[in-house]
Structure formats: C-alpha cells, structure tokens
Amino acid sequence: MRVVVGMSGGSGQVYGIRILESLKALGHETHLIMTNAARETIRVETDTTPEKVEKLASVSYRIKDFLAPIASGSFRFEAMIIAPCSMKMLAAIANGVSSDLLSRTADVALKERRRLVVVPRETPLNLIHIRNMESLTLAGGVILPPEPAFYTRPKSISEIVDFIAGRALDLAGIENDISPRWNGI
Ligand SMILES: Cc1cc2nc3c(=O)[nH]c(=O)nc-3n(C[C@H](O)[C@H](O)[C@H](O)COP(=O)(O)O)c2cc1C
C-alpha cells in the first residue's frame, strides 16, 4: 500500500516513528510530511534526529512543497496517518485551512474519501479541541486518542507505543501484529 504519514508538533513523536518503522518492515510505500515543530519536538523528545526519521520513509517532503504529488487528489494513496497531531494541525484540517503540505494532504484525503487516521495529542482538552475533533469525525476522519490499553499488561513504554501504532495501522486498513490483541480470558 501507499501510505502518507504526517508528523506535527505534538508530544509523542515516538508514535510517528514507530508507525514509519512498522510500515517499512511490512513493505509498504510511505510518504512522510513533517512540520517544523515536529522536527523540533523530535530533538526534544527522542535520541534520534529528523534526518534519520526521514530515512525511514520511502519519500519525504518539505512542509511548504505544494508541488508535491500528494498535494493533488489525482495522485493515489490508500491511507493517511497523522501521529502525533498537534491541536494547531487538528484545527487547520477540521476547518479546511490548507496552509501547508500536511494540512493540504489531509484535506485531499477527506475530499477523496480516503482513510484519514488522526492521533491528536493534548491534555486536558478545551472546547475548541473537542469541536475540531467532532468536525473532523463528521468529515470522515478517524480520531485515535493515544490512550493505551492496560489489559495487555505492558511492561515498557515501547509496548505502550506499539499498542497505539498497531491500532493506527488497523484503522488505516493495514494488516499488522505489532501489538498483542485481546482474545478473551
Ligand atoms: C516539546 C513540545 C511539546 C509539545 N506538545 C504539544 C502537544 O502535545 N500538543 C499540541 O497541540 N502542541 C504541542 N506543542 C506545541 C506545538 O508544537 C505548536 O503549537 C506548534 O505551533 C504546532 O505546529 P504544527 O501543527 O505545524 O506542527 C509542543 C511543543 C513542544 C516544543
């Protein structure tokens, strides 16, 4: 599958990184768009660099590259995952403000009725955040809050991250066994 991965400046850059690693391991074609705030947040939160994260993707774009193929609905991709999604990016997408390549490509995903999975990150939420999540859901997007399940008895942060990455791929329609599933007692 051809999958667009967006990373914006919310906390939890590790989610986007894990999703990229998983898609690469599964042999999918990935198109990465990172905002400038995501690049800064990767440096703050992780031991890797934006340049190394870009190498995980098949193709990586500059945030203002409106000439990129993915900016057009005529370029086919099957699904888009934004992880993490800042409240600013959520607001832009929910209100149709396509002022950079990430918000534009999410707009394309919605208008072309393709799968759009958004992993928003903020806590607590104000009414504006909640209303933007409602708008995005009504427009066809899926909101996946990065809230881990504890029935898998996670033993590390890595296992918690895997749970969210696995659910994001599930919702994007991508077969995976990144994280254990509940199979009853
Ligand atoms: C370390 C760090 C953590 C941040 N965490 C969040 C967050 O969890 N949620 C959020 O909405 N913004 C967060 N921000 C602020 C965003 O990065 C900021 O609003 C930025 O303008 C978002 O831009 P973007 O949507 O273009 O990436 C964080 C910033 C930094 C530096």
User: Over the stretch 96-149, which tens digit does the pLDDT of each residue have?
Assistant: 999 999 999 999 999 999 999 999 999 999 999 999 999 999 999 999 999 999
* Residue 152 predicted with pLDDT over 90: no
Take residue 184 and report the two structure tokens written for it: 């009853």
**Nearest CA, atom 7, ligand 1:** 10
Q: How many A from CA of 139 to the centre of ligand 1?
A: 24
Q: What is the pLDDT of residue 185?
A: 78
CA of 49 to the centre of ligand 1 (A): 17
CA 9–ligand 1 middle distance (angstroms): 4
Can you list the positions of beta strands (E) in 59-181?
A: 59-61, 79-85, 115-120, 142-143
The pLDDT value recorded for residue 82 is 98
User: Which atom of ligand 1 has the smallest separation from the CA of 92?
Assistant: 25
9 confidence band (pLDDT: 50, 70, 90): very high
Residue range 36-78, pLDDT digits in tens: 999 999 999 999 999 999 999 999 999 999 999 999 999 999 9
pTM, full prediction: 0.98
What pLDDT shows up at residue 183? 86
pLDDT digits (tens, 9 = 90+) for 158-176: 999 999 999 999 999 999 9
Residue minimizing CA distance to atom 28 of ligand 1: 10
DSSP H helices, 3-126, are 13-25, 36-45, 50-55, 87-94, 101-111
The highest-level CATH class for domain 2-171 is alpha beta
